[in-house]
Structure 1
Amino acid sequence: TYTLQYPAPGSPALAAHMRTLLEQAGFASAENAERGFDHGVFIPFMLAFPQADIPVVEFSLQKALDPAEHLAIGAALAPLRADNVLIMGTGLSYHNLPHFMSGSPATDEPAKAFDAWLTRSVCAPPPERTAQLTHWAQAPGARLCHPREEHLLPLMVAAGAAGQDYGQQIYSDTVLGKALSGYRFG
């Protein structure tokens, strides 16, 4: 991915508005206009918007990797939806690359169990969804599927921004024996 380019424009005005919303909710933030897009941003956007003709503002995860904090950050950013801003949380419902690439069938069932739990949680009524996602690490197969949170927490931001909208599973497949899902809200 280091050789790929995605020259989408940024939006300093949107970034400033995001910072205002975050600060109003009690979250400190900073801007870095020099940093390029992470592969978790430009790879999905290359597929969804190949012309790179929409402004993109990347939001970094918080250092503590606390799911409740990321759900609250999403809630703080929810007003952007009324301004026709797409809030996209990229990542995977399964992200344990050593197990993924090994092809070991020993991890297939835990991956299916976590994927089923995640789908039930994302599609649950919003208060239940928030409670379950906050404690995702206790789900069956959770730490096998996500030894670290970085590829799951973007979903928390999107779920927090969804407010009272229910989640929907819009993608489901098995790749190399591992269950993978994608979701949308609203």
Structure 2
Amino acid sequence: MPQQPAFFIPHGGGPCFFMDDPKGMWTGMARFLETLPERLATPPKAILIVSAHWETKGFAFTGAQQPSLIYDYYGFPPHTYDLTYGAPGAPSLAARAAELMREQGFEASVDPDRGLDHGAFIPLKVAFPAAEIPVVEMSIERSFDPALHVAAGNALASLREEGVLILGSGMSFHNMQAYGDPRSSPGARAFDDWLTETVQSDAIERADLLAHWSKAPSARFAHPPRQEEHLLPLMVAAGTGAGKGERIYNEEVLSTALSGYRF
């Protein structure tokens, strides 16, 4: 079975891909997400998606046979709270992932009741609209320790050999107060350039750079203190990769540079 890749993908703003978008703000990002199946040598047996919108002590995995949806966005049009995504869960994958984590000394659990939040079901609905591939969501650890998340990816890397597509779902820039301000562009670009160069480093150097990401140019402008949850899914995806990563998406949205990566 060919090894599945790992991706870090942007999930956009709330249910943005399913709303009127007269200025085409989200068109490029949607088109990128739609290309994900084309980037796979074979269809995955399952998808493990790390969401920026689920924080736990230790790591956790959704274990429902049929996950519900969590509409964790606010103030959007009524129809966006009726969106559906009927992909089955994969309790056996959740158990396997938690076992791999515990074998490496991580605290890990399976939550049989939690559903998929919008950091998971919104991009999946764009990329895999048929909703036929089983999905497990993974949390981020509430310590926000970047090295811990890279190491978590290391622990899960073998799942790629078992036909599991690993997705980190977040945003490479996530300063809510800076979106839409033209003055944000230089700082956002500086961090994006650093992040891309880091992703393209070999795995050992990349892990060290990501562990100290807050020292990067404009790092705390791109991800203010205690708001870096949208970068941590990248750490997990990067940790699953043994070689150099590559940038596969780049666009300026709301005056900020945004990127997506493959490992």
TM-score relative to the length of structure 2 = 0.68
**Matching residue of 2:177:** 98
Q: 4+ residue runs of structure 1 moved beyond 3 angstroms?
A: none
Deviates most, 27-36 or 78-87: 27-36
1:180 counterpart letter in structure 2: L
What is the CA-CA distance between 1:133 and the residue it aligns to? Answer: 0.6
Distance in 2 (CA, whole Å) between partners of 1:13 and 1:104 is 45
| Runs (5+) with no aligned partner, structure 2 | 1-14, 16-70, 72-80
Is structure 2 residue 261 aligned with structure 1 residue 183?
A: yes
TM-score in terms of structure 1 length = 0.95
User: Once the two structures are superposed, what CA deviation does each residue of 1:8-57 show, in whole Å capped at 9, x if it has no partner?
Assistant: 11101101100110010001111112111111111111111001110110
Aligned AA (2:142): K
| Partner of residue 73 from structure 1, selected from 152, 168, 172 | 152
* Structure 1 residue ranges without an equivalent (≥5): none
Question: What is the identity, as a one-letter code, of the residue corresponding to 2:253?
Answer: V
1:25 maps to amino acid: Q
- Classify the secondary structure of the residue corresponding to 1:59: strand
CA distances 1:34-82 after superposition (whole Å, capped 9, x unpaired):
1111111111111110011101100000110100000000000001011
Map of 1:145 onto structure 2: 222
* Structure 1 position 151, deviation (Å): 0.4
The alpha carbon displacement at 1:6 in A equals 1.5
Count of residues in correspondence between the two structures: 182
Q: How does 1:125-140 map to 2 (within 5 A)?
A: 125-140=202-217
Please name the residue that 1:117 is paired with. Answer: 194
Q: Deviations over 1:131-169 (max 9, x none)?
A: 11111111111111112111000000000011x221000
The AA in structure 1 aligned to 2:153 is G
Alignment match of 2:244 (pick from 166, 174, 179): 166
Secondary structure of 1:53's match? coil
Question: Take 1:165 and 1:9, find their aligned partners in 2: how far apart are those partners?
Answer: 31
Which residue does 2:96 correspond to in 1? 17
**RMSD of aligned Cα (Å):** 1.0
Measure the CA separation in 2 of the matches of 1:134 and 1:108: 25
C-alpha distance in structure 1 between counterparts of 2:155 and 2:215, whole Å:
26
Equivalent position of 1:83 in the other structure: 162
- Counterpart of 2:249 in structure 1: which amino acid? Y
SS in 1 for 2:171: coil
Amino acid of the residue matched to residue 169 of structure 1? Answer: R
In structure 1, C-alpha distance between the alignment counterparts of 2:236 and 2:122, rounded to whole Å:
19
AA partner of residue 178 (structure 1):
T
Greater RCO, 1 or 2 (C-alpha within 8 Å, sep 6+)? 2
The structure with more strand, counted as a fraction of residues: 2
Partner deviation per Cα, 1:120-139 (whole Å, 9 max, x = no partner) = 00111111111111111111
